[in-house]
Structure 1
Amino acid sequence: MSKTINVMLVEDHPEYRDVIDLALKDEADIELINQVGSSERALRILQDRSQTTMPDLILLDLNLPGKSGLESLPTFRSISPSLKIIVLTQSNKEADVVRAIQLGASGYLLKSSTVDQILDAIRTVGNGGAVLGSGIAKYILNTLQTILPRDKLEDALSQRELEILALLGEGLVKKEIAYKLKISISTVATYIRRIYEKLDVQNAPAAITQAYRAGILPHEPNADSDY
């Protein structure tokens, strides 16, 4: 039996907290152990060593009263380096995406994501993977095209792999790609794994990290973005 993933939700809107609570309630392998409305409250819980159960993963909003999600992310990671963080926000600003990944987030989802997409993300990240939601992957494609010019991409990837990479860049998820190309979801997953192997990245967020290290992306994205 797989280990239960203990989740903390940091979200200031009660209505959305109720949505997530309801979505996770009947999942045998996921348990929502805390839901709080501010980063400061989440921080106090993480620092309270008397807590018998600590979160494995945080669903973190960016636009919070007091300290924002982006400001708090490094603090959460420093308190518990093994803690996984998925940003769950309304912001699709490229600066927010790359900044969150740079600061250690393992996933970035928009609040328009379906319940199934959120559950899949929790399981993927909880088991050591990384996720980017629909509409976010286009930034990864732009980054990869900067790291590898088009002719190099064509040399490295097969025609089908280029096709799938382009669809990822349009924001399609595996299920949608499978439907569009009339192939199975597992086949899509295999192609995506091969793409990452050929481009020498572990996952989509790793491509952003690689771009930072190469000096391709700025180290301080525009701080004036909306959350």
Structure 2
Amino acid sequence: MAPNATIRLLIVDDHPLFRQGVRWALSSEDDITIIGEAASGEAAIAWLEAAGPSQEPNAMLVDLNLPGISGLDVTRHVRRQYPGIGVVMLSMHEGDEQAFNALRAGAAAYRSKDVKPQSLVEILRRVARGEYVINDVVLEEPRVASRVLTQFRNLPQATSTNPEAEFPIFTPLSDREIEVLERIASGGSNKDIADSLGISTQTVKNHISSILRKLSLNDRTQAVLFALRRGWIETPAEIRQGENRQLDHDE
């Protein structure tokens, strides 16, 4: 690994020529080191298990159409077992359905295989920093955004009989970060949020920094609008209505 390398990349694709092409395209980037390759989903999972935490990649290129375990299943496994790894999913053709499925599986980015090398380099850099590039592209597509919003809002009604319930819509934010955003949406200051959640103001600031980094946004107002538009948080009015319904139920 190069001394100043910050991106440790694992390539998962069943075509040797494509893997070699990626190596060639990234060979001049001092901050990217390809630490391994896998020709199938099973091989990728085995590679990660054998590597251990000290050798773990922080970014993966994963082909959507892998033999055996699909690229989507590999991505789900990585998001559950190795949350520090950002997955860039690649496909022969970009499309609404594939983009939606990549988002649901937890991919941090989704691109077609004809992506330009420099664009791929920038995507890998952002993903390795913990950003979700998929938000910039997929959710700008109205049909995809509509499906994401509808399914996310219907998650509380999901049951074990629903074949998609096991893999709900993925949001890059943790439960605590969602709570912080909801309180920001309600007008709470950092101190108000800290008091209501029983945490320090510095912890609140850390959560806000994490939210902005994950969503690639510049300020907390943008983050609130972003989350509201995608149905990740409720508006203050919806929160109050929910609290009133709970009070009525308790009585």
Counterpart contact for 2:138–2:145, Cα < 8 Å? no
Shift in alpha-carbon separation, 1:112–1:137, aligned structure 2, 3 A: farther
The Cα of 1:102 is off from its aligned counterpart by 1.8
Task: Tell me what 2:48 maps to.
Answer: 46
CA RMSD of aligned residues (A): 3.5
The Cα of 1:65 is off from its aligned counterpart by 0.8
The Cα of 1:130 is off from its aligned counterpart by 2.1
Distance 1:135 1:82 in 2: 22
Task: Tell me what 1:112 maps to.
Answer: 114
The Cα of 1:113 is off from its aligned counterpart by 0.8
Task: Tell me what 1:197 maps to.
Answer: 222
Distance 2:223 2:59 in 1: 30
Paired residues for 1:18-167 under 5 Å: 18-49=20-51, 52-132=54-134, 136=138, 138-139=140-141, 143=145
Shift in alpha-carbon separation, 1:140–1:26, aligned structure 2, 3 A: farther
The Cα of 1:106 is off from its aligned counterpart by 0.8
Distance 1:83 1:89 in 2: 19
Which AA in structure 2 matches 1:201?
F
User: Comparing both chains, which one has the higher relative contact order based on Cα–Cα distances under 8 Å and sequence gaps of 6 or more?
Assistant: 1
Aligned residues between the structures: 165
Task: Tell me what 1:12 maps to.
Answer: 14
The Cα of 1:211 is off from its aligned counterpart by 5.2
Distance 1:75 1:198 in 2: 28
- The TM-score normalised by the length of structure 2 is 0.56
Secondary structure of the residue aligned to 2:130 is coil
Distance 1:135 1:76 in 2: 22
Larger Rg: 2
The Cα of 1:97 is off from its aligned counterpart by 0.9
CA deviation profile, 1:152-200 (whole Å, cap 9, x unmatched): xxxxxxxxxxxxxxxxxxxxxxxxxxxxxxxxxxxxxxxx868x91772
User: Unmatched 5+ residue regions in structure 2?
Assistant: 150-216, 235-251
The Cα of 1:75 is off from its aligned counterpart by 1.0
Distance 1:25 1:18 in 2: 10
Distance 2:136 2:222 in 1: 22
Identity %: 25
CA deviation profile, 1:96-152 (whole Å, cap 9, x unmatched): 2112112211111111110011001001111122224998565258637x97xxxxx
Counterpart contact for 1:56–1:126, Cα < 8 Å? yes
Deviates more, 1:134-143 or 1:74-83: 134-143
- The TM-score normalised by the length of structure 1 is 0.61
